[in-house]
Amino acid sequence: DTGVSQNPRHKITKRGQNVTFRCDPISEHNRLYWYRQTLGQGPEFLTYFQNEAQLEKSRLLSDRFSAERPKGSFSTLEIQRTEQGDSAMYLCASSLASPSGGSEKLFFGSGTQLSVL
Amino acid sequence: AQTVTQSQPEMSVQEAETVTLSCTYDTSESDYYLFWYKQPPSRQMILVIRQEAYKQQNATENRFSVNFQKAAKSFSLKISDSQLGDAAMYFCAYRSSGGSNYKLTFGKGTLLTVNP
């Protein structure tokens, strides 16, 4: 168990540029989540995958955001035409779905800190 | 929609003492899960303790315990024998056991400082 890995750890970009983040979950985990955390706030849910299927997207995820999880393995989160309001930490988490659902344990990565200048 | 409120932005405790972090939540559901997560400067969220709403017994994990008051919708975290390594942001979180049980709703967090 090597944990959830996120790259890059930091990303600085100029407004209007596109950025892509990568998340490598724990290998046997079938669920993968993306959260966004701004300064002074708790993480907010963005989207969720069960295997390769994206099952839910938050209203926070505008059309400029897209997430993929090809083959149910790693996931990417792309932000197009970045805006200063996109500056935040983007957290990835993974879990192994259990029959009881909500009791499953989420494992988080260390996040990617995005700064849009 | 569920909401989670942490009314203490910051707390401090002396090493070896006990501290309690508060959390209240709002939900119309009867079955759900509650969690406390720790986020140290390394930024990685770490699960501290979890409670199933259908269980009356308060969860305990070593020095960490909760006081779960379902009727009052209160879920406080008690840290006993505080250690320097306990210093971190602590987040209370809610998760439905129903159809939307895939996502966590977090509070804004409490920054805990441990003084030597």
Contact B104 A108 (CB under 8 A): no
Tokens of B108: 């804004």
Q: Among A90-94, A101-105, B10-14, B95-99, which is the least confidently predicted range? A: A101-105
Contact A89 B43 (CB under 8 A): yes
- Given this model, what pLDDT does residue B91 score? 98
Question: What are the chain B neighbours of A7 within 8 Å (beta carbons)?
Answer: none
Which residue, chain included where needed, has tokens 């932000």?
A79
Peptide bond into A99 cis (omega under 30): no
Question: What are the chain B neighbours of A101 within 8 Å (beta carbons)?
Answer: 97, 101
- Given this model, what pLDDT does residue A100 score? 62
CA distance B99 to B29: 11
- If one counts every other C-beta atom within 10 angstroms of the C-beta of residue A47, the result is 24
Q: Which long-range contacts (CB under 8 A, 24 or more apart) does A52-55 make?
A: A55/B102
Per-residue confidence of chain A (117 residues) as pLDDT tens digits? 579 999 999 999 999 999 999 999 999 899 999 999 999 899 999 999 999 999 888 888 889 999 999 988 999 999 999 999 999 999 999 999 876 655 678 999 999 999 999
Question: What are the chain A neighbours of B97 within 8 Å (beta carbons)?
Answer: 100-102
Is the pLDDT at B73 greater than 90? The verdict is yes
Per-residue exposure over A68-80, b if at least 16 CB sit within 10 Å of its own CB, e if not:
ebeebebbebebe
Q: How far is B99 from chain A (nearest CA, A)?
A: 9
Q: Among A88-92, A98-102, B30-34, B95-99, which is the least confidently predicted range? A: A98-102
* Pick from A50, A91, A100: CB nearest B45: A91
DSSP state for residue B59 in the 8-state scheme: P
Mean pLDDT (chain B, rounded): 94
